[in-house]
Amino acid sequence: MSADRYDPYDFANRRHIGPSQAEIAAMLAVVGAPDLHALVDETVPAGIRQAERIDFGRSLSERRVIEHIRTVADRNRVLVSLIGQGYHGTTMPPAIQRNIFENPAWYTAYSPYQPEISQGRLEALLNFQTLVCDLTGLDVANASLLDEATAAAEAMGMAHRVATAKADAFFVDHECLPQTIAVLRTRAAPLGWRIVVGDPFTDLDPAAVFGALFQYPGVCGDVHDFSGPIAALHAVGAIAAIAADPLALTLLKPPGEMGADIAVGSMQRYGVPMGYGGPHAAYMATRDAHKRALPGRIVGVSVDANGNRAYRLALQTREQHIRREKATSNICTSQVLLAVIASMYAVYHGPRGLKAIADRVHRDAVRLAAGLERLGFTVRPPAFFDTITVEVGPFQGVILQNALANGVNLRRVGSDRIGITVDERTRPDIVQAVWHAFGGSELAYDEGWPEPRLPQGLVRTSEYLTHPIFHMNRAESEMTRYMRRLADRDLALDRAMIPLGSCTMKLNATAEMLPISWPEFSEIHPFAPEDQAQGYRQLIDDLSEKLCAITGYDAISMQPNSGAQGEYAGLLAIRSFHLSRGEAHRTVCLIPSSAHGTNPASAQMCGMSVVVVGADADGNIDLDDFRAKAERHGANLAACMITYPSTHGVFEERVREICDIVHGHGGQVYLDGANLNALVGLARPGDIGADVSHLNLHKTFCIPHGGGGPGMGPIGVKAHLIPFLPGDPRSGEAGAVSAAPYGSASILPISWSYCLLMGGRGLTQATRVAILNANYIARRLAGAYPILYAGRNGRVAHECIVDVRPFQKSAGISVDDIAKRLIDCGFHPPTMSWPVAGTLMIEPTESETKAEIDRFCDAMLAIREEIRAIEEGSSDPRNNPLKNAPHTVQDLIGPWERPYSREAACFPAGTLGIDKYWPPVNRVDNAYGDRNLMCSCPPPEAYGEAAE
Ligand X SMILES: *Cc1c(COP(=O)(O)O)cnc(C)c1O
Question: Interface with ligand X by CB under 6 A: which residues?
Answer: 332-333, 502-503, 562-564, 596, 598, 643, 647, 672, 674, 696, 711, 713
Q: Which amino acid is at 286?
A: T
CB of 333 to ligand X, least distance (A): 3
Decide: 388 and 420 in contact? Cβ < 8 Å. Answer: yes
| Alpha-helical segments (H) within 375-393 | none
The region, left, alpha or beta by phi > 0 then psi within -120 to 50, assigned to residue 445 is beta
Decide: 12 and 753 in contact? Cβ < 8 Å. Answer: no
CB of 674 to ligand X, least distance (A): 3
Whose Cβ is closer to ligand X: residue 37's or residue 326's?
Answer: 326
Decide: 191 and 219 in contact? Cβ < 8 Å. Answer: no
Whose Cβ is closer to ligand X: residue 388's or residue 745's?
Answer: 745
Q: Tally the C-alpha atoms within 13 A of residue 913's C-alpha that lie toward its C-beta.
A: 1
Point out which residues pair with 409 in neighbouring strands: 81
Q: Which amino acid is at 101?
A: F
Whose Cβ is closer to ligand X: residue 598's or residue 888's?
Answer: 598
CB of 502 to ligand X, least distance (A): 4
Whose Cβ is closer to ligand X: residue 255's or residue 563's?
Answer: 563
Whose Cβ is closer to ligand X: residue 165's or residue 503's?
Answer: 503
Whose Cβ is closer to ligand X: residue 564's or residue 717's?
Answer: 564
Q: Give residue number: closest CB to ligand X.
A: 563
Whose Cβ is closer to ligand X: residue 135's or residue 332's?
Answer: 332
Q: What does DSSP assign to residue 636?
A: G
Q: How far apart are CA 460 and CA 465, in angstroms?
A: 13
Whose Cβ is closer to ligand X: residue 180's or residue 594's?
Answer: 594
The region, left, alpha or beta by phi > 0 then psi within -120 to 50, assigned to residue 207 is alpha
CB of 504 to ligand X, least distance (A): 8
The candidate with the shortest Cα–Cα distance to 819, out of 842, 853, 787, is 842
Whose Cβ is closer to ligand X: residue 150's or residue 502's?
Answer: 502
Whose Cβ is closer to ligand X: residue 59's or residue 333's?
Answer: 333
CB of 778 to ligand X, least distance (A): 19
CB of 562 to ligand X, least distance (A): 4
CB of 563 to ligand X, least distance (A): 2
Spatial neighbors of 792 by CB under 8 A, at least 6 apart, are 42, 43, 45, 653
SS3 485: helix
Please spell the DSSP secondary structure of 277-337, one letter per residue. Answer: G----EEEEE-GGGGGG--S-EEEEEEETTS-EEEEEE-GGGSHHHHGGGSS----S--HH
Whose Cβ is closer to ligand X: residue 333's or residue 544's?
Answer: 333
Whose Cβ is closer to ligand X: residue 489's or residue 699's?
Answer: 699
CB of 672 to ligand X, least distance (A): 5
How many beta carbons lie within 10 A of that of residue 278, not counting itself? Answer: 30
Spatial neighbors of 108 by CB under 8 A, at least 6 apart, are 492, 493, 494, 505, 508, 704, 705
Q: How far apart are CA 498 and CA 92, in angstroms?
A: 29
Point out which residues pair with 421 in neighbouring strands: 387
CB of 857 to ligand X, least distance (A): 23
Name the strands in the sheet holding 831-832, side by side, starting at the edge strand that comes first in the sequence.
Answer: 787-788, 800-803, 839-842, 831-832
Decide: 279 and 710 in contact? Cβ < 8 Å. Answer: yes
Whose Cβ is closer to ligand X: residue 73's or residue 674's?
Answer: 674
Q: How far apart are CA 71 and CA 593, in angstroms?
A: 48
CB of 255 to ligand X, least distance (A): 28
Whose Cβ is closer to ligand X: residue 652's or residue 672's?
Answer: 672
Whose Cβ is closer to ligand X: residue 24's or residue 690's?
Answer: 690
SS3 249: helix
Angle, helices 62-73/534-551, rounded to nearest 10 degrees: 130
Q: How far apart are CA 745 and CA 279, in angstroms?
A: 7
How many beta carbons lie within 10 A of that of residue 478, not counting itself? Answer: 12
Whose Cβ is closer to ligand X: residue 300's or residue 713's?
Answer: 713
Q: What does DSSP assign to residue 252?
A: B
CB of 543 to ligand X, least distance (A): 18
CB of 320 to ligand X, least distance (A): 9
Both ends of the chain: CA-CA distance in Å? 57
CB of 771 to ligand X, least distance (A): 17
Q: How far apart are CA 492 and CA 494, in angstroms?
A: 5
SS3 413: strand
The region, left, alpha or beta by phi > 0 then psi within -120 to 50, assigned to residue 309 is beta
How many beta carbons lie within 10 A of that of residue 733, not counting itself? Answer: 14
Point out which residues pair with 839 in neighbouring strands: 803
Q: Label residues 429-460 b or e (16+ Cβ within 10 Å = b).
A: ebbbbbbbbbbbeebebeeeeeeebbbeebeb
Provide the strand spans (E) within 871-939. 924-925
CB of 523 to ligand X, least distance (A): 26
CB of 352 to ligand X, least distance (A): 37
Q: Label residues 506-524 b or e (16+ Cβ within 10 Å = b).
A: bbbbebbbbbbebebbbbb
CB of 948 to ligand X, least distance (A): 40
Whose Cβ is closer to ligand X: residue 177's or residue 841's?
Answer: 841
CB of 503 to ligand X, least distance (A): 6
CB of 336 to ligand X, least distance (A): 11
Whose Cβ is closer to ligand X: residue 834's or residue 907's?
Answer: 834
CA dihedral 684, 700, 268, 317 (to 10 degrees): 100
